[in-house]
Amino acid sequence: MISKPSRVVIENVLPQVDGGRFPVKRVVGETVTVTADIHADGHDRLFGFLKYRPAPSSPWVLLPLKPLPNDAWTAVFQVIELGDYEYTLEAWIDRFATWRTELEKKIAAGQEVKNEFIEGAQLLQAAAARATGQENYFLNEQAKALLQKSSVEARLKLMASDSLTEALIRYGDRHVTTVYAPTLHVSVEPERARYGAWYEMFPRSAKTTHKHGATLRDAEMQLDYVARMGFDVLYLPPIHPIGKSFRKGPNNIAQAKPGDPGSPWAIGAEEGGHKAIHPDLGTLKDFDHFVAAARKKSLSIALDIAFQCSPDHPYVREHPEWFRHRPDGSIKYAENPPKKYEDIYPLDFECEAWEALWNELRDVVLFWISHGVVIFRVDNPHTKPYAFWEWMIKEIRAKHPETIFLAEAFTRPKVMAQLAKVGFSQSYSYFTWRNTKVELTEYFTELTQTPVREYMRPNLFVNTPDILHAYLQTGGRPASLIRLFLAATLGATYGIYGPAFELVDVRAIAGTEDYQDSEKYQIRQWDLDQPGTLPEWITQVNHLRKTHPALQWDHSLRFHEIQNDGLLAYSKTSVDGKDIILTVINLDPVNPREGWMRFDVKTMAKETAYPMHELLSDAHYTWHGEWNFVRIDPGLCPAQIFHAELPS
């Protein structure tokens, strides 16, 4: 028998990603504000619930939907557990509310309402039949009261009581409802997925007297240095054995000399593969000690995951079926014409033995989780199938929902977006190549104020071992500070590759974004105590990020009008609205810039005068109204970061 169709339509439900194909993202403690258009034919009143639960086996939690203008409805729920939440909407014709509305109209028009009271009593009696115990008694008593000969006004007031409304929400006529499908999902991750400062370091270049570079025990001595600057995550490039075949020399020359250490991304040698430590760095026991020492300093270790192999990797010998082969039987090495990477063999994710390969790569991640790593920076994920990442991330998070994955994919926008959708917690971004006022405004408006924000969280790395932008190469120390302040205040998550960044090593191979004497191919010895460098500035800005909640979120970012194309102004507000940070940056690393800026935050602009605390210089100002004058000299400091002190 065909069930009676519902007259209620639920559409335009937000948030959702690709019609519910992928989950939206939140971290523990955040809220999900759900909106939808819900309507029906005619003038009947509607009612409905937002339904959510942390797991399919849990009972639904029901929240009444609140009406908004133009047939829109909303409700908000909070996610408090790691893992996957699901939510949907259910709505129906509210026959009692419809009856009450029509009754009020007829009474206002002076019409006879005897039959209407009988109809109302029948609705209450039907609800009572669906109730039990005390609520059955209560609803029947209300039906009797409706038929008594008390005044119309008294009976009408009785029908509007909160207790009756609540009882009818539970026991009203809901035999024909509309449930939104498909059920939508929220992926709930740790706070570090939303907010944090990352520091990238090659452990083999830590200070040491060893001729083959530093060990992990040596690198432990540098943990204090990183922690003092206020970083939350210490990211290590691959720490595995490095192949000798076709090893690259300094600055990526084709032939390495004896003693050249090779690229850490050419993974695998006779000492082992992706589950092994390079013997020059130490042992797994040393790595465990390193992770524990970092944890004591409130540093989480992020490990590089690069699913590729050197020709010497044990996989090549043990599982040749996991690689692509040429007609002559040789294994294909990596190429990006005209570049050739003979020291790297890509894996074939579509080989006949793909299931065994996928399981092994999942087990690599599980292996490092067993050694205390829960954050992974994934190298070039855009060169592997989406389906693999979606499967693997789900497999990992089913056992370890605290795991965070960062996608290092500098590629086409839709490819980056798809990787974020299939499960990556964070994404490298185009920030490095956005340097003008127009570029920065357009890009960060897209990231924070459009549907992209529901699934993509940018991690704003100022530089990487692969990318030294021309802006940094030519702008000197002020340019490095400008990019630092932009990254740390535009993004809740940002990172630097050090010590190259804070020591302002901006030497590049001519005509490229490649570092001269790159650590990718050789061991560097850094003088961390040299004058004129940036650690004090980095420490200060990281301290501001920790003490001002406004800087720990992205979605409140708002750009402000400022009458100079070389100046960029934007603010962020904390979730509770009590912390407002305004950043004004001179994008010109050479010349002072000045102009009038419109600070039209409602809380502040209505005040004729209000205090502004400039946090970098600790200067205090009094601003008046919306428009105020700013001047920034990059030779002194290229940015001003204001704390807007709210009126009491």
Sign of the dihedral through C-alpha 447, 559, 589, 618: negative
Residue ranges with strand state E in 94-183: 178-179
Q: Which two tokens stand for residue 370?
A: 């067993």
18 is catalytic: no
Which SS3 state, helix, strand or coil, does residue 610 take? Answer: strand
Cα distance between residue 430 and residue 409, in whole Å: 10
Cα distance between residue 288 and residue 547, in whole Å: 31
Beta bridge partners of 32: 77
Q: Is 227 exposed, middle or buried (0-12, 13-18, 19+ CB in 10 A)?
A: middle
Query: Contact, 234 vs 272, CB < 8 A?
Result: no
Please give the backbone phi and psi of residue 427, each rounded to the nearest 5 degrees, phi first: -135, 135
User: Pairing state of beta strands 83-93 and 61-64?
Assistant: unpaired
Query: Contact, 647 vs 617, CB < 8 A?
Result: no
576 is catalytic: no
Cα distance between residue 462 and residue 421, in whole Å: 24
Q: Which two tokens stand for residue 119?
A: 């109809």
Q: Which two tokens stand for residue 53?
A: 């639960």
Cα distance between residue 516 and residue 251, in whole Å: 7
- What are the CA-CA distances from residue 155 to residues 44, 147, 287 (Å)? 22, 9, 76
Q: From the candidates 90, 200, 379, 579, which is the catalytic residue?
A: 379
Residue 426 neighbours by CB under 8 Å, 6+ apart: 193, 404, 405, 406, 407, 457, 458, 459, 493
Q: Which two tokens stand for residue 129?
A: 């039949």
Cα distance between residue 578 and residue 503, in whole Å: 36
Q: What's the Rg (C-alpha) of the chain? A: 31
Residue 359 neighbours by CB under 8 Å, 6+ apart: none
Cα distance between residue 596 and residue 615, in whole Å: 20
Place of tokens 């990231």: 447
Amino acid of residue 314? P
Residue 311 neighbours by CB under 8 Å, 6+ apart: 243, 245, 246, 331, 333, 342, 343, 345
Angle, vertex CA 432, rays to CA 426 and CA 436, nearest 5:
125
| Residue 256 DSSP code | P
Amino acid of residue 262? G
Q: Which two tokens stand for residue 456?
A: 């993509």
Q: From the candidates 408, 454, 554, 579, which is the catalytic residue?
A: 408
Q: Is 355 exposed, middle or buried (0-12, 13-18, 19+ CB in 10 A)?
A: exposed
Q: Which helix (H) or strand (E) holds 31?
A: strand 31-39
List helix spans (H) across 319-435. 354-369, 386-399, 413-422
Q: Cite the active site residues.
A: 379, 408
